[in-house]
A = this chain, B = another copy of it.
Amino acid sequence: MQDRGVPHGGGLGAGGENLLYLTDAQLRKGIEAMFFAYRGFTADPDRILARHGYGRAHHRAVHFINRWPGTTVNNLLSILGVTKQSLNRVLRTLIDDGLVESRVGTRDKRERNLYLTADGAALERALSDAQRARMRAAYRQAGPEAVAGFREVLEAMMDPELRRQFEGAAETVE
């Protein structure tokens, strides 16, 4: 009843023993690794955010505003995949607290261009420093070849539209 994708006996011609890693047990290990690793991945920022009275939603907003200064609300909505009401609540507190500045668009005055203030940039730096430190330690421990594989699997796991946004992000900087 349960489709295992690849028979344990192997022998699909190309690959063979290389496909051992596609057994259910191996896939489940990958699933649990994602679960536990994501917890570690967010643990340090979560602690910093808690001290400021913020949550992950604030982190995501601050991250992507820092990433693309001057981005519009609609851009942010499509990146974050939430409703405008939900984003607006988070953005409202960040603006009121003086971490984010919202300027009326020059080309199109309906749009709001979002920027981090000095305080916002400071929080962003604290958060990303912590997260990069964790990522750097993991990268160091695993080595360059592992990192390349890590990135390949993650990219393959994204939804196609999200991958496009991710790759778009890449073009902008690299």
Contacts and interface: CB of A to CB of B under 8 A. Distances in A.
Contacts of A18: 144
| Copies of this chain present | 2
B135 A21 contact: no
21 contacts: A5-B136, A18-B144, A19-B144, A21-B144, A27-B139, A28-B173, A33-B154, A33-B158, A34-B37, A35-B60, A43-B159, A138-B157, A141-B152, A142-B149, A145-B145, A145-B149, A146-B149, A146-B153, A149-B153, A150-B152, A150-B154
Given A132-B28, A139-B27, A147-B153, A166 B33 contact: yes
Interface string A4-19: 0100000000000011
A119 interface: no
B159 A39 contact: yes
B40 A170 contact: no
A36 B170 CA distance: 13
A156 B128 contact: no
A142 B152 contact: yes
Interface in A63-82: 67, 81
Contacts of A174: 25, 29
Contacts of A125: 2
A155 interface: yes
A29 B170 contact: yes
Contacts of A145: 145, 149
Given A34-B41, A40-B158, A146 B135 contact: no
Contacts of A143: 152
